[in-house]
């Protein structure tokens, strides 16, 4: 019984870390006292302790304790026994490499399939899709595979950006990049704008937030999905 929140971003302009999501997270994590935080999307040189402290400060506002996965001698056991799990943003290549290096990807997938509540933001959302290949991140390291958790039957592009009218920027748009992906891959891609998220309960997937999301399917025009759209049958 999957129970996930897959958010485009952790922070909206003018608000604190996770602030816009805290009312939703209070209910999402209502049965958990402690949240296991996976900080692997940040290099260890950018202290995992500092990253975890930032997360802990946010969750303290809804009376939740946070512990970093990096503090456990046996990370597999920590994931299996977690009351709830949060994977934060950063670099998706690094995150996936570290999950594979610690033999955690299959364990995390099984744990989430068994119903442990999960929050992913940015890189932590990328890994809930079929693959991480529609990330916006630079390949600063090389994971052994791009295959990820497959909690939803499509790929995600967090922080999705629309072209800015009147802009003189001549680089490729996000839509162009996703269309390039579809020259070689068949799975749908959901462009998730900042401030939007998916709620996954069992097999039901619902778009939440005030903004629409942009759906790309191979050999089809992109379409806008309004909030509360049901993506359960998307494949």
Among candidate residues 8, 10, 122, 229, the one labeled active-site is 122
Among candidate residues 125, 137, 196, 229, the one labeled active-site is 137
Query: Residue 63, by phi and psi: left (phi above 0), alpha (psi -120 to 50) or beta?
Result: left
User: 3-state SS string over 75-135?
Assistant: HHHHHHHCCCEEECCCCHHHHHHHHHHCCCHHHHHHHHHCCCCEEEECHHHHCCCCECCCC
Among candidate residues 159, 182, 212, 232, the one labeled active-site is 159
Pairwise CA distance, residues 55 & 39, whole Å: 10
Buried b (16+ CB within 10 A) or exposed e, 38-62: bbbbbeeeeebeebbebbbebbeeb
Can 122 be counted among the known catalytic residues?
yes
Can 137 be counted among the known catalytic residues?
yes
Can 50 be counted among the known catalytic residues?
no
Q: Which residues are catalytic?
A: 122, 137, 159
């Amino acid at each position: 019984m999957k129970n996930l929140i897959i958010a485009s971003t952790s922070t909206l302009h003018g608000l604190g870390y996770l602030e816009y999501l805290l009312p939703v997270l209070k209910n999402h994590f209502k049965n958990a006292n402690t949240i296991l935080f996976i900080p692997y999307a940040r290099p260890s040189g950018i202290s995992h302790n500092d990253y975890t402290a930032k997360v802990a400060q946010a969750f303290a506002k809804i009376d939740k304790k946070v512990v970093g996965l990096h503090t456990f001698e046996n990370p597999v056991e920590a994931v299996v026994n977690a009351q709830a799990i949060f994977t934060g943003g950063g670099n998706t290549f690094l995150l996936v490499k570290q999950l594979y290096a610690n033999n955690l990807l299959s364990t995390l997938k099984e744990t989430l399939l068994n119903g442990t509540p999960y929050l992913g933001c940015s890189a932590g959302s990328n890994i809930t899709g079929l693959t991480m290949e529609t990330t916006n991140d630079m390949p600063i390291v090389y994971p052994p595979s791009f295959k990820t958790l497959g909690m939803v039957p499509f790929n995600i592009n967090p922080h999705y950006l629309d072209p800015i009218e009147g802009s003189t920027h001549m680089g490729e748009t996000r839509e162009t990049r996703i269309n390039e992906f579809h020259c070689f891959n068949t799975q749908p891609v959901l462009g998730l704008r900042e401030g939007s998220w998916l709620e996954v309960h069992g097999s039901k997937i619902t778009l939440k937030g005030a903004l629409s999301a942009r759906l790309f399917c191979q050999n089809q025009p992109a379409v806008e999905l309004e909030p509360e759209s049901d993506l359960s049958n998307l494949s």
